[in-house]
Structure 1
Amino acid sequence: MPTLDDFDDDLFAAVQQVTVTTSDSDYIDQLVPLIKLARNSDRSPQLVRTLWEISHQRESEIEKICNSNHQEFVSSVNQLLRVREGTVNLGSEILTLNQSIQTSTEKLANQKKALVDSRSVRQNIDETTTALNACLDVLRLSNQVHELLAKKRHYAALRALDELRDVHLKEVGRYKIAEMIEKSVPATHRLIAEAVMTDLNTWLYRIREASQYLGEVAFYHTEMRRTRMRERVEKEEFMGKFKLNSAVELVADETDEFDILNNEETETQVDFSPLFECMHIHETLGRTDQFKIEYAATRRRQKELLIPTTLDLLDEDEANLSSLLESITGFAIVERATMAKTHNFRAAVDVDELWESMCQSAITLISNALPKVDSDEKLLKIKGRIALFIQTMGSWNYNVSSLNSLVLTIFAKYAQLLKYRFSEDFQEIVSTDDYMPMPINSLDEYDKVVNVSWYTPDTRREELIFPCVLPFSQMYPLCCIDIRNFLNQIYQFSDENFQHSNVIDETLMTSLDDLLCENVCQSLVERLSSQYPGQIVQILTNLEHFEHACEELQTLLFQARSSSSASAPVVLRAKEQFAAGRKTAEKRIFELVNSKIDDLIDTAEYDWQVSASSYMQELTRYLHNNMSSVMLGLPTDLKELVYFDALSHAANSVLELALDDHVQRISPAAIRLLNNDVQYLSAFVDTLDNPILKENLDELIQTVALMQTDNPDEFFDVGQANRKYGRVDRQNGAALLEKYVQTQKDNTFANYASRFGLNRS
């Protein structure tokens, strides 16, 4: 380690080096660093001492030189004095400079200390600035999150918040602001979730408001599919076997793409971006399950808002019903589309539950409003809207079984209203008919009647001469028209998506049977109480044609049967009813004819003692006129049957006159008159050219012949009686012979008494 002496030697050498400098400026330049060095090392006294030592050394050297060279010495002394003076002055300057240097050094030290202090402050300021900048970045990002929320860029806000929390907050983790922002992150998450839910609710509200129009577009699309399907059926008949929404129809309709949710033609556009964004944000926040629950609850509330409290089915164009069904359709389509566009978000069971709930609400509203509907046409329109609804939702794979049951209920009411309306029509037709053969004045009129009636004319169309009459009265073609209209309107109900075709067939057959039996057949049978044979004959003719119409209807109903699986033949109860009514009418005709015969025979004034009656001419005239006018419309076999029964009744009635208990005796004159009447009646029957009718008079003719025989005993001979009087009743013949014989005895006694003046008592 160097000692103080070492430092003095160095200082001495340095001072010597300074003193040998030839220039004042160099002297000062070399002296200043030496002074600084001495001052810095606290050797200023040593420097002064060294300077003095050198000065004394120099003086010694000078004095030595001067001793040898006095003059030179003197000169040197003077010079030295001057040097010394300069040295003193220089020492003063040095001291002054030292003081100045010391002052500058202190100042410099103070400045250095200030500089050091300023550097520390500057470093602190730099660190603070860096921290402030980092904090400002954090604040800027935090504000940016809220700005993005204000701009509804929710996902970007969430990403910015995640970046703020995961990256930037770590950079300023030692500052209080990081803790504050970290604590605000959950609240910001909630703000983002609430904001995105607000936007989603706004979207859901718009979707709900647009549901009706979306349903209207869906109905329009279904109508277009119906139109295309009808065109295919017109081109290829086998396509008629397939219904809308069947696999064949769906394949055939693949070329006609129609996106209900996004379609420029109908100006529909359902953007699911808000839903996707909301799902993504909640998934990022780890709140997917909670979001699913909230979304499902919101959709349930919206479903309730779609359903009105009441429904009016009587408004024009079914606007209320259409609005309800379209809203439900749009709502359900959005649900199906949500399932298709998302994964494991909307459970199928939840969507189906919503659908069933809406269906049940709609069914309840419609069912409650149905009793007020009293028009079958209105019901048909209502069913048409519901059928369109069913077909539309069927294409979205919704269960429509409950709606099919509703359609079945509507059909039951529709059939009931139709039955009631046609019942009134049938009753009016039956009650206002004139029950006269229907006159036809032209070929067009004839064609119209034949086309609507189940009637096969006997005369060819080309051979007709107008005016002419048809066998039935006007009520028959009018009823046929109503029957055809009833069939068409019933089948019209099944045109669109009616799943219960067997119900159509059964209801149609039952209703038609009831209408024909109760409103036509029964009304006609009730009118058989009329006393006018012509009306009875016309009713009989109408009944026959209705019976034939029932046969045609059975064939028609079997061919038009909606249910292809049914193979049993169609049997109308009305056919038997009309057949029974026809027989009743026939009996009524027999009753009227026989009643008239009875009335005519009751006018007979036979005096069985001496006189005879001529009523037979009136009876035969009645039969002839009645059969040629009133009974003209009857079929030939029935007309012959009426003749047969009338003649049989007349023969029996004539016999009853003679067999009456009040007739005790029959005179030969009365027998002759009776024989004349029987012969007259027999001649009348001969004109009818029907041997069977003549057989009805066999008993009467043989009985009169028996009463005229001269040998009554022949009747009691079995062999002769069977040969000559085989048709005569044994008891009746015996009674009549007794009355004739008694008359003969009375006449014999009367002749004997008159000859001998005797009285019979």
Structure 2
Amino acid sequence: MSQDLDQEGFITEEFQKILLASATSSVSSSSLIDKDRKEKLLLSKTKNSGNISNDDIEKVTGDSLDPQYFDKWIPFLRSTIEKDQLAVAVDELRSSTEDNFQGLEVQLLRDFQVTNKLTNSISEVSDIQSAIEQQLTRQMMDFQTNLSNSTNELIVKKKIFLNNKKTSLKISESIILITKVLRILELSSKCQELISEKSFFKALQNLDNLEKLYLQEFKNYNFGFLKEIYDSIPFLKKVIRDECINLIRNSFNLNLGKNLEEVGHTMFACYNDELLAQWLQKRDQMDFSSFKFNSPVEISLRDQDVLSSISLDKFFHLDEFHDAIMIFETLQESQYLLSEFTNEYEFRKNKVIFPLVWKKTVNNINITTADIERDAFTKSLNLEFLQTYLLRILGFLMYDICLNKATDFSLVDNNYNSTNEFWEGLLNRLGPYLSYFMQKYLNDEEEIVKFKDFLSVYVAIIENFNLTITPLYNILLSVFQKYCDISMSSFSHEFKTLLDDDDFMPLTIQDKSLLDKVLKICWLKKDEDSKLMEEVKSMEDSGSQFSITLPFSPLYPMTCTLAKKIYSKLTNFISVFYGHNLQYLSNILIKTMDVIFNDIVNQQIKSKLDSNSREEIAQILINLDYFIIASKEFSKMMTNTNILQNPDIEIKLSSIKHYVESRKYAESKLINLIDSKISDIFDTVEFDWSANRIRKEPDISIIDVAQFLEMMFASTLVNLPYSIQTLLIFREFDSLTRKVLDLLLHETPNRLTPESVLNFEIDVNYLQGIIPRIFPSIEPSPSESRSSTPATSSRGASDHPTSLIENNIKSLEETFTELNQCIELLKSRDYAEYADPEIRMRKFSRIKAEDAQWLISKVKSLTPEPDDSSDNKSVMGSVRSSTPSNDSSANTNRLAKLFGR
């Protein structure tokens, strides 16, 4: 209300200002309007019509009032009339006349007419107000009547509208309900369609939407057909679940059939034909011989385009498993899927590994050889079947790896080692069959190499997918051992042939190229090859026919060739693959070469020492001396090329020690044979101690002994090492002198004739005289050069200085000292000389007192014979300087008999 008064006061004040402005303008004009006339006119218009127009105002005001000011009244008057406040406005105008027109009093007073007119106008205004009020009253009543009628019409129309609105709302609700019913029908139909199209996850999503829609909208409705649709949801879910399991089974049928072998073949071919071939080429180009296939270096250099061609995603399509996992997770039946998958997958595994039985693998039952031989798997065993079988297993392993990774291991209950567990279990079952196959069927080197190459590439593939390789790699180690065994057997057979065909004679070569090959193959003594080259050069310079005789027999170079060949073959066998257990491989390699050098070469050579042929044993002794060198050099070669690539390792074959032992045995065997032969020859010697005639030549039996010794050392033993020759010479002469001395002291009669003593001296001097001819001569005579072997005339003389030979001759002659002193004592026939210490120390220092007395007693009682010392001296001199009579037929026959014994 206060706001209305404020508004009213504001309106009145504004109106007053306008009136004031109008009045001021009217007063200041030159002539005043006839207000009485104008007011009456306005009043009459108001009474008659109740409306005052602008034309009426203009007629009333005439020229005395500016129409613009009067136009400003109209809004205030209209507003006052509309608000039914015209009387209030008049009262306010009256009460504010003094305030608003104080400034005009003087002027109004001056114009009395104007003042009267103004006073009269007030009553006219009041009349106008009454007229207006009456008019407004009538209008208000009419308005109320119209309003009442309109209200009634509005109520009626509103009722109609509300009824229509309710009807429309029900129609809308019906439309919505029908739409939702149609949606349910559509979802139900779509589910059936998606199930028939195998889109089970989408079908399940539609079923969930259908279930939610029904529960939210139609749970309280009694729609029978909708209830039937809702009740069919569990059945449809079961259909989806069963169909998902069927899809998994179909996926198994598709992926675990013959295509597994194709996958295995493709993977193997990629590694074997492309990656391996590329690596072998790069290894030769980049000198990477120490790096194996599938080593980190080889893997880092692989062609990635080749690897991308064998991506597992290209082989297997596993969309069914993704859908199944999502579907069963949505159904909250993941354990059911896991159970069904496990059962089905176990069944598929059994089919994949057939004809092996998977249950035995799971139960870890030990398999005997008898079980293996009766097994159906064994009946199909051959290299081709085994390769096909393992490639099928490889395909399955690739499938299992791909499936587990694609499903994030959810189908194996997050067991990240599931593939490896299956693989280890299979190897536990398959291992005995592989070992049986290797032992039973792999008996040929070519088949072993094929199996090794296949299994090595197979192991490389398995290793690249982080699966266990230990059992298979152990099979590879066994394959290498089998290859070594077969190689040793082959070597043994070839060596036996070589040994049986060997002539046990020094190797004579008449072809320069052949000599170069032999020197390249064999290991010789220090500086021996340079000396041989000097001999070759000397022959070429002199233009003589090429002919070189080597100390060893053909067996030695042929054996070296075989040994190098088999070592190269064994190292090549493991050069490309075999990247693990290098120490074990090295031990196998060393053991194999030890077996070859000792158990085969040494033992078979040693078996030949049972021979009674001195020439053969002597040549064996020479060969053994070179085989010791070969073993040492072969050890160095294996050290430098050891597969461990360790520069600090040192390999020493144990066969070196065994060769040394065999050489000692051969030496003792040769010595025993020579001793036996000399003993047999010496047994034929008969000294005539009762002789009455002095011989001019030694006894024929002594000549036989001397010829035997001279010929034996000049031919049979000429190629022996000088140390062995010296040993044998000293041993045999020492043995010979001891035998003769023992015979003189213990086997002679009690009485000896002086002639027999002189004859005995002739025989002993003859034996002593052959000593210089046994040792190699420094400057052989032309006849000796022609008769001696090349080895004797060249290397025998040049290898040892003159002083050494002369010292050896002097030492050997000293073995006759005691025997010569005994002869001198017998010739003196006087014990007084022996009793004289000075003479004894000078002439008889080696003779014991009891032996001296015994010898003197044998010749003391005899009557002295005429002194023919000059003749004896001449005879003895001639004997010492004489050579055996080789021209006599008797001697030739006896030598033939001796060498034939």
TM over 0.5: yes
1:262 offset after TM fit, Å? 4.6
For residues 167-566 of structure 1, what are the structure 2 equivalents within 5 Å? 167=213, 174-209=222-257, 210-223=259-272, 224-237=274-287, 242-253=291-302, 255-256=304-305, 258-259=307-308, 261-262=310-311, 269-307=315-353, 308-309=355-356, 310-311=376-377, 318-345=383-410, 346=412, 347-375=415-443, 377=445, 378-455=447-524, 457=529, 458-460=531-533, 462-463=536-537, 466-495=546-575, 496-563=577-644
1:136 offset after TM fit, Å? 7.0
Alignment deviations for residues 313-368 of structure 1 (CA, whole Å, 9 cap, x no partner):
9966x222222222222222222223333335242032332222222233233134
Amino acid of the residue matched to residue 704 of structure 1?
I
Unaligned runs of 5+ in 2: 1-169, 357-375, 540-544, 776-805, 867-901
Counterpart in the other structure of 1:588: 669
1:537 offset after TM fit, Å? 0.8
1:194 is paired with a residue whose SS is: helix
In the superposition, relative to structure 1, how do residues 508 and 351 fare at CA in structure 2: closer, same or farther (>3 Å)? Answer: closer
Amino acid of the residue matched to residue 731 of structure 2?
D
Tell me whether 539-548 or 512-521 shows the greater mean CA deviation: 512-521
Tell me whether 728-737 or 529-538 shows the greater mean CA deviation: 728-737
Q: Quick one: distance in 1 between partners of 2:690 and 2:862?
A: 8
Q: Quick one: distance in 1 between partners of 2:811 and 2:833?
A: 28
Q: Tell whether the 8 Å contact from 1:440 to 1:469 is kept in structure 2 after alignment.
A: yes
2:562 is paired with a residue whose SS is: helix
Counterpart in the other structure of 2:702: 616
Q: Quick one: distance in 1 between partners of 2:216 and 2:428?
A: 58
In the superposition, relative to structure 1, how do residues 195 and 320 fare at CA in structure 2: closer, same or farther (>3 Å)? Answer: same
Amino acid of the residue matched to residue 244 of structure 2?
V
In the superposition, relative to structure 1, how do residues 711 and 256 fare at CA in structure 2: closer, same or farther (>3 Å)? Answer: farther
Of the candidates 694, 698, 721, which is equivalent to residue 813 of structure 2? 694
Q: Quick one: distance in 1 between partners of 2:305 and 2:810?
A: 80
Q: Does 1:159 align with 2:209?
A: no
For residues 4-83 of structure 1, what are the structure 2 equivalents within 5 Å? none
Q: Tell whether the 8 Å contact from 1:300 to 1:354 is kept in structure 2 after alignment.
A: no
Q: Quick one: distance in 1 between partners of 2:429 and 2:715?
A: 68
Of the candidates 655, 662, 670, which is equivalent to residue 741 of structure 2? 655
Q: Tell whether the 8 Å contact from 1:404 to 1:498 is kept in structure 2 after alignment.
A: no
Give RMSD over aligned pairs.
Answer: 3.5
Alignment deviations for residues 598-654 of structure 1 (CA, whole Å, 9 cap, x no partner):
233222232101166343322222222222222222122322222222222222222
Number of aligned residues:
620
Counterpart in the other structure of 1:668: 754
In the superposition, relative to structure 1, how do residues 306 and 449 fare at CA in structure 2: closer, same or farther (>3 Å)? Answer: farther
In the superposition, relative to structure 1, how do residues 300 and 418 fare at CA in structure 2: closer, same or farther (>3 Å)? Answer: farther
Of the candidates 567, 588, 603, which is equivalent to residue 684 of structure 2? 603
In the superposition, relative to structure 1, how do residues 246 and 441 fare at CA in structure 2: closer, same or farther (>3 Å)? Answer: same
Q: Quick one: distance in 2 between partners of 1:157 and 1:560?
A: 69
Q: Quick one: distance in 2 between partners of 1:256 and 1:695?
A: 88
Q: Tell whether the 8 Å contact from 1:430 to 1:520 is kept in structure 2 after alignment.
A: no
In the superposition, relative to structure 1, how do residues 278 and 260 fare at CA in structure 2: closer, same or farther (>3 Å)? Answer: farther
For residues 632-643 of structure 1, what are the structure 2 equivalents within 5 Å? 632-643=718-729
Q: Tell whether the 8 Å contact from 1:313 to 1:321 is kept in structure 2 after alignment.
A: no
1:143 offset after TM fit, Å? 4.1
1:669 offset after TM fit, Å? 0.6
Amino acid of the residue matched to residue 652 of structure 1?
R
1:443 offset after TM fit, Å? 3.0
1:395 offset after TM fit, Å? 0.9
Q: Tell whether the 8 Å contact from 2:247 to 2:320 is kept in structure 1 after alignment.
A: yes
Tell me whether 461-470 or 222-231 shows the greater mean CA deviation: 461-470
Alignment deviations for residues 279-324 of structure 1 (CA, whole Å, 9 cap, x no partner):
22222322233323333333333222222335559966x2222222
Q: Quick one: distance in 2 between partners of 1:275 and 1:729?
A: 111
Amino acid of the residue matched to residue 602 of structure 1?
D
Alignment deviations for residues 145-184 of structure 1 (CA, whole Å, 9 cap, x no partner):
3333333333333334334434478666642122212122
Counterpart in the other structure of 2:711: 625
In the superposition, relative to structure 1, how do residues 376 and 184 fare at CA in structure 2: closer, same or farther (>3 Å)? Answer: same
Q: Quick one: distance in 1 between partners of 2:295 and 2:229?
A: 61
1:135 offset after TM fit, Å? 6.2
Unaligned runs of 5+ in 1: 1-123, 748-761
Q: Quick one: distance in 1 between partners of 2:266 and 2:510?
A: 54
1:243 offset after TM fit, Å? 4.5
Alignment deviations for residues 408-448 of structure 1 (CA, whole Å, 9 cap, x no partner):
34444444444444334434433443322234342333333
Q: Tell whether the 8 Å contact from 1:208 to 1:302 is kept in structure 2 after alignment.
A: yes
Q: Quick one: distance in 1 between partners of 2:188 and 2:239?
A: 13
Q: Quick one: distance in 1 between partners of 2:235 and 2:211?
A: 13
For residues 663-742 of structure 1, what are the structure 2 equivalents within 5 Å? 663-687=749-773, 688=775, 690-709=809-828, 711-742=830-861
Q: Tell whether the 8 Å contact from 1:303 to 1:354 is kept in structure 2 after alignment.
A: no
1:469 is paired with a residue whose SS is: strand
In the superposition, relative to structure 1, how do residues 175 and 437 fare at CA in structure 2: closer, same or farther (>3 Å)? Answer: same
In the superposition, relative to structure 1, how do residues 302 and 368 fare at CA in structure 2: closer, same or farther (>3 Å)? Answer: farther
1:396 offset after TM fit, Å? 1.0
Q: Quick one: distance in 2 between partners of 1:240 and 1:526?
A: 41
1:459 offset after TM fit, Å? 0.3
1:348 is paired with a residue whose SS is: coil
Alignment deviations for residues 14-45 of structure 1 (CA, whole Å, 9 cap, x no partner):
xxxxxxxxxxxxxxxxxxxxxxxxxxxxxxxx
In the superposition, relative to structure 1, how do residues 731 and 519 fare at CA in structure 2: closer, same or farther (>3 Å)? Answer: farther
2:770 is paired with a residue whose SS is: helix
How many percent of aligned residue pairs carry the same amino acid? Answer: 22
Q: Quick one: distance in 2 between partners of 1:514 and 1:333?
A: 43
1:544 offset after TM fit, Å? 1.0
Q: Tell whether the 8 Å contact from 2:270 to 2:306 is kept in structure 1 after alignment.
A: no
1:532 offset after TM fit, Å? 1.6
Q: Quick one: distance in 2 between partners of 1:615 and 1:721?
A: 32
Q: Quick one: distance in 2 between partners of 1:313 and 1:589?
A: 57
TM-score by length of 1: 0.73
Q: Quick one: distance in 2 between partners of 1:651 and 1:526?
A: 33
1:244 offset after TM fit, Å? 4.5
Q: Quick one: distance in 2 between partners of 1:179 and 1:304?
A: 46
Amino acid of the residue matched to residue 768 of structure 2?
S
Alignment deviations for residues 214-258 of structure 1 (CA, whole Å, 9 cap, x no partner):
222222333333334344433444x55555555444433374452
2:717 is paired with a residue whose SS is: helix
